[in-house]
Amino acid sequence: MSVARRSTAAAAVRKVQGSGDWDGMLTPLYPVLRGEVARYGELVGACYAALEEDPSLPRYMNCKYGKLRMLEDAGAGYEVTRCIYSSSDAAVPGMEAWNSGCAS
């Protein structure tokens, strides 16, 4: 692929990812953007499916699967290539008194 073609492809990917606030892509919904929205929705669904939500289990609010197979085991069809870690300030019902053991 030529440098010019690669640059054009990269610009198109950035536009679909929101670099221009999706100007001209929302009405009507640009087909590639529609596919990306659906793909992200599937990924979010797989992440929720991988989360242990039964408060009676010791791994409550932790991943049900090993991190390298999490998305595959959750049925998403993705392969984990890198892991990132984050925390959230989101209030989770039933978790108010839960302590992860991390320093605050």
Q: Give the tens place of pLDDT for each residue, 5-20.
A: 777 888 888 888 888 8
pTM of the shown model? 0.59
Residue 52, classed as helix, strand or coil, is coil
Q: Give the tens place of pLDDT for each residue, 15-44.
A: 888 888 989 889 988 898 898 888 888 888
- Going by C-alpha positions, the residue among 103, 26, 101, 92 that lies closest to residue 61 is 92
- Residue type (1 letter), 3: V
Quick one: pLDDT at residue 76?
72
Query: CA-to-CA distance for 63 and 54, rounded, in angstroms?
Result: 12
